[in-house]
Structure 1
Amino acid sequence: MIQPQLHFTGQIWRPPYEANSQLLQLTSGCTWHKCKFCSLYHGTPFRMSPLSEVEEDLKVIRRWQPRARRVYITGANPFALSYNRLMDTALLLRKYLPHMESFGMFARVTDITPKSVEELRNLHHLKLDSINIGMETAHDPTLDKMDKGYHSADILEQLSKLDEAGIHYNVFYLNGLGGQGNGVASAAATAEVLNRLHPCIINIVSLTIFPESRLHQDVIDGTYQEAPEIERLVEMRTLIERLTIKTNIFGHHISNTIPITGALPYDKAALLSEFDKAISSFPEQELRAYRKNIRHL
């Protein structure tokens, strides 16, 4: 018997802590597609799933996972959709999955901009409880260089709206993004902004450049110099040292040469000690060899 299939197209990514969530496609590709370092959605144009398609998928999910409690909506940044479209989706989730307790998704900082705090509260009321945001850094020169399309002031303003609306959020920090010589400045600027916010998790990923990214050509042209591995460790240490908020650090991504996990402020001393040991004992060439062997994220 042929089983019904869900409408998944393009690359499908989800954070590791969403491993037990039911996945549902709302968009594919990215609305921005300009970040110089990114190759995650290479070759996949942005597409918004029709509500009829979403409803078909929910009927399948209801059949096979009728008691699903957590749904993670896929796409690079489905939160870019209008408030009304997101509300329609939330209502469909409630209709077909009555046992669902929460849902989440990825977002760009700029996806929050057109939505008022009241609208965000309404989405939260319909079980949107968390958003994962590819912040990358709050260092304005690096944000400009990488064509992120926003600045540190936008990060502070938009994530503050999520705090006010009661929606939890996790951010991604891209270690080494500023290039050689800019790591400490990037970490310091990011800590300064995050210390005024309330991220639940700070995911640390280390920049790994693949041929599909525009940044790869900059490396070939000599207009961008990658941050050395020891410098990246110093950058990560600086970020953790300067954070004063209560949050969780997830740095166990394959791209990190030294995987770390901890809760701040409780584990700060242990994390800093771990970095100090790594910085003083690991040869640069050994860490670089590890990065060169990363084939995909």
Structure 2
Amino acid sequence: MHFTGRTWRPPYEASSFIVQVTSGCTHNKCSFCSLYKNECFRMSPLEEFKEDLAELASYQPTARRIFLTGANPFVMSYENLAERALLIHDYLVECQTIAMFSSIRDIKNKKVWQLRRLRSLGINGISIGTESGDNSTLLLANKGYTAKDLIEQCRKLDEAGMEYYFVYMTGLAGKENSYRNAVNSAKVFSKVNPRFISVDSLTLFPDTELYRMAQERKFIPAGEKERLEELQTFIKHLQIRTHLFANSVSNFYPTTAFLPKERDRIISELQYIIDTVSEEEMQEYRRNLHTLG
């Protein structure tokens, strides 16, 4: 199999079969991220892609879900995505779903009819690193789009019947900005229909712009208890039916919940941690977190 640079997939894609279709990130400017800093964006040549599909088919011919790697393979044109999807079905006849990462920016150049067609070809389960729905936080994170863009593009996915997932990042807005970020993000996310929301908590790594800003005191990180309170606020203000996963290693207290059914239960759990665990213990956990893998 051909794998170039970092190969990264969400925890919930652990049982999916991975095939490289791109490597690197077309944006590569998010202030908190260093995952693809030293990689140029590359699209796998068709012959290389076919070789990988043939190899996968030789040992796993009944693969039903494929996850295409790269920071944002959905940036590819409609025609290119359709061609790759058809090739997957040629080699893996039992494949039902083709999932991948996308940015909000990558949806803009696709019409609803094209999204419907891609959905009919099995492309479904789009993981979108939204991180926030608050314009000030999106600007700080240098995401390259606004809350209005997020709503407009995800409503196109909704209209096309394409399933998608969000990421929300606590702590990203910085100290004393968490409440604003949570409320505004919940309002924006509630205008669309993510199948589930995966929650991470900001961890500053040395080779990021946000880390440099923190060193220069231009960015003050939120405390750990503030982050848990932010998550509580976010959950309280969400007005959609969704599944929330806050169980990645970046979260001091891992938990999941079906919302709104389990809203009170998860808010109570988080409050118990806030009340019984010291800020120092939580910060020690953060300092010892050297990788999110």
TM-score range normalised by the length of the shorter chain: over 0.9
Instruction: Determine whether 1:136 maps to 2:110.
Output: no
Counterpart of 2:61, as a letter, is: P
What's the counterpart of residue 3 of structure 1?
Answer: none
Paired amino acid for 2:120: H
Count of matched residue pairs:
292
Distance 2:143 2:288 in 1: 27
Alpha-carbon distance in structure 2 between the residues aligned to 1:246 and 1:143: 24
Equivalent residue letter for 1:185: R
**% identical equivalent positions:** 43
Q: CA deviation at 1:42?
A: 2.6
Counterpart of 2:249 (choices 239, 245, 254) is: 254
Gap runs ≥5 in structure 1: 1-5
The residue matched to 1:198 in structure 2 has which SS?
coil
Measured in 2, the distance between the counterparts of 1:19 and 1:141 equals: 33
> Residues of 2 paired with 1:212 and 1:249: CA distance?
29
The answer for the alignment partner of 1:239 in structure 2 is 234
Give the counterpart letter for 1:89 in structure 2: R
What does 1:129-168 correspond to in 2, within 5 Å?
A: 129-168=124-163
**Which residue pairs with 2:75 in the alignment?**
80
Secondary structure of 2:98's counterpart equals strand
For residues 147-171 of structure 1, what are the alpha-carbon distances to aligned partners after superposition, in whole Å with 9 as ceiling and x for unaligned?
A: 1100000000001111100010000
Structure-2 separation of matches of 1:81 and 1:286: 44
| Cα deviations by residue, 1:159-199 (Å, 9 ceiling, x for unpaired) | 11111000100000011100011111011011101111111
Alignment of 1:285-296 (within 5 A): 285-296=280-291
> Normalising by the residue count of structure 2, what TM-score does the alignment of the two structures yield?
0.98
1:266 aligned to 244, 250, 261, which one?
Answer: 261
Question: 2: CA distance between counterparts of 1:142 and 1:16?
Answer: 25
Question: Which structure 2 residue ranges, 5 or more long, are not aligned?
Answer: none
Letter in 2 for 1:216: Y
Whether 1:8 aligns to 2:6 is: no
- SS of 1:270 mapped into structure 2: helix
Root-mean-square deviation (CA, aligned residues, Å) is 0.8
Q: CA–CA distance in 2 between the matches of 1:176 and 1:68?
A: 38
1:126 corresponding residue in structure 2: 121
Is 2:101 the partner of 1:106?
yes
Runs in 1 of length 4+ with deviation above 4 angstroms?
none
Measure, in 2, the Cα distance between the counterparts of 1:219 and 1:75: 28
